[in-house]
Amino acid sequence: MRQEKLGEGTYATVFKGKSRVTGEIVALKEIHLDAEEGAPSTAIREISLMKELKHPNILRLIDVIHTESKLMLVFEFMDQDLKKFMDANAKATHGALGTATIKSFMYQLLKGIAYCHENRVLHRDLKPQNLLINKHGELKLGDFGLARAFGIPVNTFSNEVVTLWYRAPDVLLGSRTYSTSIDIWAAGCIMAEMYTGRPLFPGTTNVDQLQKIFRMMGTPTEQTWPGITQLPEYKQPQEMYAHQNIGQTLPNIDAHGIDLLNRMLQYQPQLRISAKDALNHSYFSDLVY
């Protein structure tokens, strides 16, 4: 039973609803299907895979209802997403969150990512809008059966542009062999954003996105990133930037936080810390969870 419209996304409209059977409040995601083509079989396959993912830090897909003209996904209901949560804090703290909150959210985010990666699932589109939070302070990864089913979206119908801000440099450079490490890069960007309330790399185009990353992390070369010049979208950079100390842009972060962030934001995908190892990092040693 539909109650109210919560939002309109790239390929779906989300409603708040109530289960007639259990009375549980749910979120209904109605996917707009092409009248000619119906639901892509890959999407159906991937979405049914998502039903198998059961973890406290992953949004639960309760049911899938498939009719000729639409595909309806029934999810557990969450109060808000991390973007809205940060925006609500913006008035008091310019969007920056407290250290204890950041630590709790990062731990939960990494637990969700680790579970996905153990099950050979990439999220591919992690960003604050896809991290859902309830009033108990629980964080869950959402919206990713779709990220996986539809591939990495480049642009969308309507004038909504898919954000590049959390996209790993190897993906921006056209690498076709990306792996679990793309989710770790995104998690690092999200961690930095929680400390300031502002995106770390707010690029407007692929080129601008890479430029913003290079300015902060230093311009990569064959010495610092072997193989980079062979990537399909690689172009000789105009400027050689030096590596900046990321701690200077994040005033409230401690040495453990800087170390974890640097391990997540490695240029070479294989050098990025795994979600499992990140959970054991000293940054979380004083976590009250």
| pLDDT tens for the chain, residues 1 to 289 | 667 777 776 667 889 999 888 899 999 988 877 766 666 665 676 677 778 889 999 999 998 888 777 788 899 999 999 999 999 887 666 768 999 999 999 999 999 999 999 988 888 889 999 999 999 999 999 876 555 544 544 443 333 445 799 999 999 999 888 789 999 999 999 999 999 999 999 999 999 999 999 999 999 999 999 999 999 999 998 899 999 999 999 988 999 999 999 999 999 999 999 999 999 999 999 997 6
What pLDDT does residue 179 have?
A: 84
User: Which candidate, 56, 100, 95, 106, places its Cα nearest to that of 78?
Assistant: 56
Which CATH number is correct for 80-284, 3.40.50.300, 2.40.128.20, 1.10.510.10, 3.30.420.140?
A: 1.10.510.10
234 and 228 in contact (C-beta within 8 Å)? yes
User: Rounded to two decimals, what is the model's pTM?
Assistant: 0.89
Catalytic residue from among 63, 79, 87, 125: 125
User: Can you give the pLDDT at residue 148?
Assistant: 53
Q: Side-chain half-sphere of 160: how many Cα atoms within 13 Å? A: 10
Give pairs for 212-219: CB < 8 Å, separation 24+. Answer: 213/169, 213/172, 214/239, 214/241, 215/241, 215/244, 216/244, 216/246, 216/249, 217/243, 217/244, 217/265, 217/267, 218/242, 218/243, 218/244
CATH superfamily of 2-76: Phosphorylase Kinase; domain 1 (3.30.200.20)
pLDDT at residue 38 in the model: 63
Which tokens hold the place of 15?
A: 């409603």
Q: How do strand 139-141 and strand 131-133 relate by DSSP bridges? A: antiparallel
Cα–Cα distance, 132 to 100 (Å, whole number): 18
Say whether 29 counts as a known binding-site residue.
yes
For the chain, what percentages of helix, strand and coil (3-state, to nearest 5) are there?
Answer: 40, 15, 45
Residue type (1 letter), 233: E
Taking the C-alpha atoms of residue 138 and residue 60, their distance in angstroms, rounded to an integer, is 13
Beta bridge partners of 13: 8, 30
**Secondary structure (3-state) at 99:** helix
Matching residue, tokens 């409603």: 15
- Residue 218: CB partners within 8 Å, gap ≥ 6? 224, 241, 242, 243, 244
Question: Taking the mean position of all CA atoms in its chain, how far away is CA 100?
Answer: 21
What residues does CATH 1.10.510.10 cover in the chain? Answer: 80-284
List, by residue range, all CATH 3.30.200.20 domains of the chain: 2-76
Q: What is the DSSP string of 136-197?
A: T--EEE-SHHHHHHS-S----SSSPPPP-TT--HHHHTT-S---THHHHHHHHHHHHHHHHS
Count other Cβ atoms within 10 Å, centred on residue 60.
Answer: 17
Dist CA 182 CA 167 (whole Å): 7
Active site residue 170: no
